[in-house]
Amino acid sequence: MKKIISLILAFTLLLVPVCLSACGSKNDADNDAKDENGGEEKKVLTMATNAEFPPYEYYDGDTIVGIDAEIAALIAEKLGMELEIVDTEFDSIIPGVQSGKYDMGMAGMTVDETRLKSVNFSDSYAKGVQVVIIAEDSSIATLEDISGKKIGVQTSTTGDIYATGDYGEDAIVRFANGALAVEALKSGKVDCVIIDNEPAKSYVKANEGLKILDTEYAVEDYAICFNKNDADLQKQVNDALAELIADGSVQKIIDKYITAE
């Protein structure tokens, strides 16, 4: 009898560690599964842009590349989020951010008093300059010469807003994007195009017979816009942006796309 009891005991003792390790590995397996399918999945950060604004955002094949796309990718990485870039009309970006369709808007977008009534802006990550594109043989030589002329702009951009204020509604011809405005300049439908300097440079480079007026029209700050109720994301992005500016990453991206002449 004693023998049997001790045999059972020995057998039980043998089984316990087996059970423990088996149970343990089962638990581990469960945790792994949770990691893959549970709360660990990356949240998506939706960025609205207008990918017709080189070198900040434009298509390289099917991919949207550029300064904003690359900075946003680094921000998303810091936030542990997955970046999704949505291409839309420039004037749909702010309404989409306001309605919650997009988490943020990043499109070489200028911080502007009127926009600040609708959205919040991050700290600025780049400077922009509004310039005037004219034909090489244009009679326009100064900003004053623009009075009474037809001005092509991209709808709802600061070029549109300022030029409408300075030269009057009748002078303004609006286009969905800068490329269309430049086409109109080439065919003589407008006398000049007021647009941000970096896209202006790439349009002038790509189209013969155009030049940029020496005098700058306006200097401004580019920033990322957020829904007014999303101060939390705005803060997280600002913190990430501050780190990326401090460690030189932002400048490195800008230098990659904008080479000094």
The verdict on 90 binding ligand GLN (CB under 6 A) reads yes
Interaction between residue 175 and ligand GLN (CB under 6 A): no
Query: Which uninterrupted H or E stretch holds 74?
Result: helix 67-79
Residues pairing with 63 in the sheet: 60
Name which position in 46, 122, 138, 154 contacts ligand GLN (CB under 6 A): 154
**Ranges assigned E (strand) in 122-260:** 126-135, 151-154, 172-175, 192-196, 210-212, 218-222, 225-226
Question: Residue 193 interacts with ligand GLN (CB under 6 A)?
Answer: no
Our CB check for ligand GLN shows the closer of 157 and 227 to be 157
Sign (positive or negative) of CA dihedral 184, 186, 189, 194: positive
| 134/181 with CB nearer ligand GLN | 181
C-beta of 133: minimal distance to ligand GLN in Å?
A: 14
Binding part of the chain for ligand GLN, among 3-11, 103-111, 226-234, 235-243 by CB under 6 A, reads 103-111
66 touches ligand GLN (CB under 6 A) = no
Return all residues near 27 (Cβ < 8 A) that are at least 6 apart.
none
| Closer CB to ligand GLN, 109 or 163, in the complex | 109
Among 54, 105, 108, 152, indicate the residue that binds ligand GLN (CB under 6 A): 108
CB neighbour list of residue 111: distance below 8 Å, 6 or more residues apart: 121, 124, 220, 221, 222, 223
**Torsional sign, CA 217, 203, 193, 87:** negative
Please identify which residue in the block is written with the tokens 């990718």.
73
Draw the binding track, 211-230, toward ligand GLN (x: CB under 6 A; -: no contact).
Answer: --------------------
Asked if residue 122 binds ligand GLN (CB under 6 A), the reply is no
Q: Does 125 bind ligand GLN (CB under 6 A)?
A: no
Q: Is 96 in the site for ligand GLN (CB under 6 A)?
A: no
Residue 223 class from Cβ within 10 Å (0-12 exposed, 13-18 middle, 19+ buried)?
A: buried
Question: Judged by CB under 6 A, how many residues of this single chain contact ligand GLN?
Answer: 12
Distance between CA atoms of 47 and 72, rounded to whole angstroms? 8
Tell me which residues touch ligand GLN (CB under 6 A). Answer: 50, 53, 90, 107-110, 128, 154, 157-158, 196
